[in-house]
C-alpha cells in the first residue's frame, strides 16, 4: 500500500547450502532490489546478510569465506527475527553449508544490519519445542560470551549476564504459555543481547 515493489525469497532451509544462497542473491539482483529485509530465524537472516552484499558485488562467494574477505559495499539491510535464538540479527557472520558435512563462515563488517526490529508478536505461536531449542541456543551464546577468552571485556560481560538473566527467568514461561507477550519480549531481547 506504500507503493513498494516486494520480491520474496522463501526457499531458505536450516543450515542453508550455497545453492540456496546463490539463488536468493540472483533473484534479488534480477529484481533490482535496493534494500534487503531478513525475516525469520538465523538461517534466513544469514542469507539476507549475504544477499545484501551479493546484489551489488561481483565478488564470488568462494572468495568471501573467512574473516574480512568481503570487498565492496552492500545495499541497506534490515533484520527482523521471528525466533529468540541465534542473535544473527546483530552479528557479522554468515554460515553456509558447503558440502554434505562441511560448513564455512563469512565474517565481515558489511554483514552488520543497518536496522534491527524486535517484535515479540512475531514469536508468538512458535511451538514449545522450537521455543525451548532456540532459547537454549541463545542461552549458550550468552554463556560462551561470558566464559570465553576471545574479546572478553566488561561490556560483553554485562550484556551476557543480562541476556542470561532475561532468558533464565522467562524460558519456561515462554514454553508453557507461548502467548505470554512479556516472556516472549524478554526472550527476544535476551537472544539479541547474547548475539
Q: What is the pLDDT of residue 21?
A: 96
For 109-148, the DSSP string reads GGGS-SEE---GGGGTT--HHHHHHHHHHHHHHHHHHHH-
Q: What is the pLDDT of residue 114?
A: 98
Pairing verdict, β 66-67 and 77-81:
unpaired
Q: What is the pLDDT of residue 101?
A: 86
Q: What is the pLDDT of residue 75?
A: 97
Q: What is the pLDDT of residue 99?
A: 86
Instruction: Split the chain (195 residues) into runs of 10 and give each run's mean pLDDT.
Output: 93 95 96 96 96 94 96 95 94 94 96 97 95 96 93 94 98 96 97 96
Q: What is the pLDDT of residue 35?
A: 97
Indicate whether this model's pTM tops 0.75.
yes
Q: What is the pLDDT of residue 139?
A: 97
The single residue listed with the C-alpha cell 558440502 is: 99
Amino acid at each position: 500500500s506504500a507503493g513498494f515493489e516486494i520480491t520474496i525469497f522463501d526457499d531458505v532451509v536450516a543450515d542453508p547450502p550455497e545453492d540456496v544462497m546463490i539463488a536468493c542473491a540472483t533473484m534479488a539482483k534480477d529484481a533490482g532490489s535496493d534494500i534487503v529485509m531478513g525475516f525469520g530465524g538465523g538461517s534466513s537472516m544469514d542469507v539476507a546478510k549475504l544477499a545484501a552484499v551479493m546484489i551489488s558485488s561481483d565478488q564470488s562467494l568462494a572468495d568471501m569465506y573467512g574473516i574480512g574477505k568481503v570487498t565492496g559495499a552492500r545495499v541497506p539491510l534490515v533484520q527482523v527475527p521471528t525466533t529468540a535464538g541465534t542473535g544473527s540479527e546483530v552479528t557479522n557472520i554468515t554460515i553456509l553449508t558447503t558440502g554434505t558435512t562441511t560448513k564455512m563462515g563469512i565474517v565481515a563488517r558489511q554483514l552488520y544490519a543497518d536496522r534491527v526490529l524486535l517484535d515479540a508478536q512475531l514469536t508468538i505461536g512458535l511451538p514449545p519445542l522450537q521455543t525451548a531449542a532456540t532459547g537454549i541456543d541463545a542461552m549458550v551464546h550468552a554463556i560462551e560470551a561470558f566464559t570465553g577468552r576471545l574479546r572478553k571485556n566488561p561490556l560483553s560481560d554485562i550484556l551476557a549476564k543480562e541476556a542470561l538473566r532475561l532468558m533464565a527467568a522467562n524460558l519456561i514461561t515462554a514454553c508453557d504459555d507461548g502467548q505470554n507477550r512479556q516472556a516472549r519480549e524478554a526472550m527476544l531481547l535476551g537472544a539479541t543481547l547474547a548475539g
